[in-house]
Structure 1
Amino acid sequence: MSAARGGGRFVTGIAWAVLLLGLWLWGRDVSGGSGSTSAPTTGDIAAVGRPLGVPLPPAHDPLKGVAPRRVEIPSLGIAAPVVPRGLDADGAVDPPPYAQAGTVGWFDSGARPGEAGAALLVGHVDTQSRPAVFYGLSAARSGERITVTAVDGSVAEFTIDDIQVFPRKHFDAAKVYGPRRQGRAELRLITCGGTYDHRTKAYTANVVVSAYLTDARDPAPSKPSKP
């Protein structure tokens, strides 16, 4: 199973419409054939969304935004390189190949993590034979941290505020991929969820973890070279 197919920089007009259609289609024929590993159980999370009483920090002002290099979710043990990805022939975000199932794809025609808007990160949940980078994503909880390290060494820290499972039969692209609050820097981590339907060769849902920028760190100063 893989991440949902696929801001700051805004995708407009026909290109945006094609992208949303592709995102809805994402999850088809992406398990590598058999869907032999079990998909995470996600039905309970769909009803949770944002649990009441979870204290969340204030949002940080949006940043200039730099291309991401690495994403980490310490509470889930996820630490993975990030690579830029474009659209495939179906108009969906092209996830990393299965040979790189431990890598996360960033939709590089959308927002950069830290910019105003919703940056999209997609990853496979499993392959024919083993779990992949976002296999444990459905266990995320509100209040947990996500850090994104940029190519220049700066770090953007996000706080998870919402975890939902969206059935593909009732998919709302605007709600899933659009920013929750205008002018806020947000992050979407997306993978497949629900169950694998061998008849349609597709998963029945998408797991969507939403987060927003709460802290930022500049690149560490370089050490002076020895004379």
Structure 2
Amino acid sequence: MSDDHGRTTATGRLVTGLTWALLLSGLWLWGRGVTDVPRGTDGPATGDVFALGRAADPAWLPRPAKPLAGAVPQRVDIPRLGVQAPVVARGLDARGAVDPPPYDQPGVVGWYGAGPEPGAAGAAVLVGHVDTETRPAVFYQLSTVKPGERIRVFRADGKVAEFTVDDVRVLPRDGFDARQAYGPREPGRAELRLITCGGSFDRASRSYTANVVVSAYLTGTAG
């Protein structure tokens, strides 16, 4: 191995490390800030705070499928919830936090476009609101999802990435652990994170107290 190749490899690792650190930083800010959803009344965000730590026994879950090449997501389906939502790419806002979909589009899901595409290796991140001031939003029932259930992502290449849920967590806003929420669970897998507000609505801070994080991994492909 030449010295030039060694320096190139080291530089690549450094860039990758810095990108990952910035990604976690931005998503941590989003995790702290996405709970600031306007709401007219107090009440639980999802009604299922006890989902914290709910994980499946891997013995009865299907084997992971080989990751796909990257392709932009267009729609996400959660069959049991009746969710069929368009997906749009989102970046970071002026504060460095992931910019969720606008409040006037409560049925739209945002994909963190600087991260992996759903179906590609790594943990792809999809975010959506739990409610608005007047009605439930796209991920209102997200915390009721259970391990073993299926999520489908329709992609621009015509393929449908089929994911199986393996973990559901409600992570408190205070002490939010971005790596636990967004980091890959197993190296080399194609994984998916669906994230919304959780816990209860705190009137004093006008924010929710937690985030719901559903983790899934690629188990099949259609199309």
Q: Structure 2-normalised TM-score?
A: 0.86
Which residue of the other structure, out of 138, 141, 144, is the alignment partner of 2:146? 141
Counterpart amino acid of residue 30 in structure 2 = L
Match of 1:97 in 2: 102
* 1:55 correspondence with 2:63: no
* 1:111 correspondence with 2:120: no
Alignment deviations for residues 16-72 of structure 1 (CA, whole Å, 9 cap, x no partner): 35414423322243x23535675212221114x114487210000111021000000
Confirm or deny: 8 A CA contact 1:157 1:215 kept in the other structure: yes
Aligned CA-pair RMSD: 2.0
Confirm or deny: 8 A CA contact 1:190 1:206 kept in the other structure: yes
* 1:80 correspondence with 2:85: yes
Confirm or deny: 8 A CA contact 1:21 1:91 kept in the other structure: no
Q: Name the SS for the 2:118 alignment partner.
A: coil
Identity of aligned residues (%): 52
Confirm or deny: 8 A CA contact 1:54 1:142 kept in the other structure: no
Q: Provide structure 1 residue ranges, at least 5 long, that are not aligned to the other structure.
A: 1-8, 219-227
Structure whose residues are more often helix by fraction? 2
Q: Name the SS for the 1:39 alignment partner.
A: coil
* 1:19 correspondence with 2:26: yes
Which residue of the other structure, out of 27, 34, 40, is the alignment partner of 2:40? 34
Going from structure 1 to structure 2, the CA distance change for 1:14 and 1:186 (only over 3 Å counts) comes to closer
Distance in 1 between the 2:30 and 2:202 partners? 18
Confirm or deny: 8 A CA contact 2:34 2:100 kept in the other structure: no
Counterpart amino acid of residue 77 in structure 1 = G
Shift of 1:81: 0.5
Q: Name the SS for the 1:79 alignment partner.
A: strand
Q: Name the SS for the 2:74 alignment partner.
A: strand
Counterpart amino acid of residue 44 in structure 1 = F
Confirm or deny: 8 A CA contact 2:42 2:203 kept in the other structure: no
Going from structure 1 to structure 2, the CA distance change for 1:20 and 1:105 (only over 3 Å counts) comes to closer
Q: Provide structure 2 residue ranges, at least 5 long, that are not aligned to the other structure.
A: 1-15
Of 51-60 and 120-129, more deviation after overlay is shown by 51-60
Counterpart amino acid of residue 71 in structure 1 = V
Distance in 1 between the 2:109 and 2:99 partners? 11
Going from structure 1 to structure 2, the CA distance change for 1:100 and 1:184 (only over 3 Å counts) comes to same
* 1:196 correspondence with 2:201: yes
Distance in 1 between the 2:28 and 2:49 partners? 24
Match of 2:49 in 1: 43
Match of 2:172 in 1: 167
Confirm or deny: 8 A CA contact 1:37 1:129 kept in the other structure: no
Going from structure 1 to structure 2, the CA distance change for 1:13 and 1:189 (only over 3 Å counts) comes to closer
Counterpart amino acid of residue 16 in structure 1 = L
Confirm or deny: 8 A CA contact 1:101 1:132 kept in the other structure: yes
Give 4+ residue runs of structure 1 displaced > 3 Å after superposition.
33-38, 51-54
Going from structure 1 to structure 2, the CA distance change for 1:53 and 1:217 (only over 3 Å counts) comes to closer
Confirm or deny: 8 A CA contact 1:125 1:192 kept in the other structure: yes
